[in-house]
Structure 1
Amino acid sequence: MLYGYGPSILEGAWLTISLALTAMALAIGLGLLGAAFRLSPVKWLALLGEGYTTLIRGIPDLVLILLIFYGGQDLVNRIAQLLGYTHYIDINPFIAGVCTMGFIFGAYLSETFRGAFMAVPKGQGEAGVAYGLSGAQVFWRILVPQMIRLAIPGFTNNWLVLTKSTALISVIGLQDMMFKAKNAADATHQPFTFFLAVGALYLVLTSVSLLALRFLEKHYSVGIKAAVL
């Protein structure tokens, strides 16, 4: 099956999943930070958050991937030379992919989280303060749990797009399933077979993700539905 390249492509699929999960973890952190900046009463923080989301969302993902990988690698080596380090520093494609995808989708999640926070009634936070909770306690115990429920639909869309966008990382040499499939297609002259297989694997991955996120959405909506009934 697949001319003996099946295990190699499955190995690449595992790397793709690892890349997507790690990048999403970074994106969540940057997204929460970006949302906090956008909602901050401090003007320069709000402007910084807005600049981040505007800049990243306005540049194609592929351009950012090439810019961060090659431009970042050049910058790191220039700084190393200034510090007296003469050996060439080669950035690992996986680390570069995680940082790039996390940085890109952190901007998208920033807007998702900001909208979710704004949808939480202000009275919820005010009630927490009235009960003597600190700002951090109000944020983590009252606002975040409600924000999660409201953010899940937007988060789901971003996760699906990020998962599919991992295929772009193959251009910088990461041996994910797209990279493995291209090598197999070049060797066997059967591009349709291997790219169809990769498409099927992406479909399985996104379908499983949808089921998991729908379960999560139902879990966080149980109390709301009960209250409505």
Structure 2
Amino acid sequence: MALFDTLGFGENGWGRMLLLAAAVTFLLTLAAMAIGAVFGGLVAAAKLSRNRAWRVLGELYTTVFRGVPELLIIYLFYFGGSSVLTSVGSWFGADGFIEMPPFLIGALAVGMISGAYQAEVYRAAVRAVPVGELEAARAIGMTRPTVWRRVLVPQVMRFALPGLGNVWQLSIKDSALVSVTGLAELMRTSQNAAGSTNDYFLFYIVAGLLYLAMTSFTSQVFQRLEAHTGKSFRRGFAR
């Protein structure tokens, strides 16, 4: 009974807080993936560019955000961003330290880390598209935007989905590091619950199970998306 009371939804139970924290983790990962998709697409375009300066900038981005520890990047964003915000605030007469919103910092930091990995996924996917198909599309009179919309982007997404699934799982795990900013996501809430009850093993096991539930569910989503896009292309070839 004590176990059910501890993990229940009553006045002294932590069940509701853990589920809310898991929802925050999920939303944080969604926001980070969206931010990463923007940066990843731009960096992939830079690395595929014929301009050497753009290629160097793209390579620098992926090297930094894949080579520097994720926790250090989160600290740099959190303290650096807050310092910049405090300086800007002082110009307008604000006093004291201005703290950046932890959710925003976490989404930006994890998103830019995700963007470095997504960039490599998109770059590899673009290179996997047969050049002959692009040339054939231009030969029949398709404009460049039409080629992108009807030929390049659908195939890039088909090739990129397995890699994006891996990046998603990585981002879910990276979201646990955002707990150092004080955001009440799953890891932080589990630490608070464990510290309040001195039942560390129980709450860390529950947190692990919730992380596994999220990753298992999203893995199924990505597998269905891969099957759907693969089916569409097989139908196209059959015709």
Q: TM-score, normalised by structure 2?
A: 0.90
Matching of residues 63-74 of structure 1 within 5 Å: 63-74=72-83
| Partner residue, 1:49 | 58
- Structure 2 distance, partners of 1:136, 1:49, is 23
Q: Which of 63, 83, 86 is the equivalent residue of 2:94? A: 86
8 Å Cα contact 1:112-1:155 kept in structure 2: yes
Q: Which of 135, 139, 153 is the equivalent residue of 2:162? A: 153
Deviation for aligned residue 1:122: 1.1
Matching of residues 170-209 of structure 1 within 5 Å: 170-209=179-218
Q: How many residues align?
A: 228
Helix, strand or coil at the partner of 2:94: coil
- Structure 1 distance, partners of 2:5, 2:21, is 14
Summarize deviations over 1:108-151 as a string: whole Å, max 9, x none: 00001000000101122222222333323222321110011111
Question: 1:27 corresponds to which letter in structure 2?
Answer: G
- Structure 2 distance, partners of 1:106, 1:62, is 16
8 Å Cα contact 1:38-1:46 kept in structure 2: yes
- Structure 2 distance, partners of 1:137, 1:34, is 22
Deviation for aligned residue 1:2: 5.8
Q: Does 2:153 match 1:144?
A: yes
Deviation for aligned residue 1:157: 0.7
- Structure 2 distance, partners of 1:13, 1:63, is 23
Higher relative contact order (CA 8 A, sep 6+): 1
Q: Percent of aligned positions with the same letter in both sequences? A: 37
8 Å Cα contact 1:31-1:110 kept in structure 2: yes
8 Å Cα contact 1:57-1:107 kept in structure 2: yes
Q: Which of 28, 37, 42 is the equivalent residue of 1:33? A: 42
- Structure 1 distance, partners of 2:72, 2:58, is 21
Summarize deviations over 1:9-28 as a string: whole Å, max 9, x none: 11111111110111111111
CA RMSD of superposed structures (Å): 1.7
Deviation for aligned residue 1:214: 0.4
8 Å Cα contact 2:85-2:100 kept in structure 1: no
After superposing the two structures, state which structure 1 stretch, 85-94 or 112-121, moved more: 85-94
Deviation for aligned residue 1:75: 2.2
- Structure 2 distance, partners of 1:174, 1:161, is 19
After superposing the two structures, state which structure 1 stretch, 17-26 or 133-142, moved more: 133-142
8 Å Cα contact 1:16-1:177 kept in structure 2: yes
8 Å Cα contact 1:2-1:194 kept in structure 2: no
- Structure 1 distance, partners of 2:137, 2:215, is 38
Helix, strand or coil at the partner of 1:174: coil
After superposing the two structures, state which structure 1 stretch, 120-129 or 48-57, moved more: 120-129
- Structure 2 distance, partners of 1:58, 1:2, is 44
Q: Where in structure 1 are there 5+ consecutive unaligned residues?
A: none
**Change in CA separation of 1:86 and 1:223 when aligned onto 2, cut-off 3 Å:** closer
**Change in CA separation of 1:146 and 1:215 when aligned onto 2, cut-off 3 Å:** same
**Change in CA separation of 1:44 and 1:198 when aligned onto 2, cut-off 3 Å:** same
Q: Which of 14, 23, 26 is the equivalent residue of 1:14? A: 23
Deviation for aligned residue 1:221: 0.5
- Structure 2 distance, partners of 1:99, 1:111, is 19
Summarize deviations over 1:194-216 as a string: whole Å, max 9, x none: 01000000001000011110000
**Change in CA separation of 1:76 and 1:184 when aligned onto 2, cut-off 3 Å:** same
Q: TM-score, normalised by structure 1?
A: 0.94
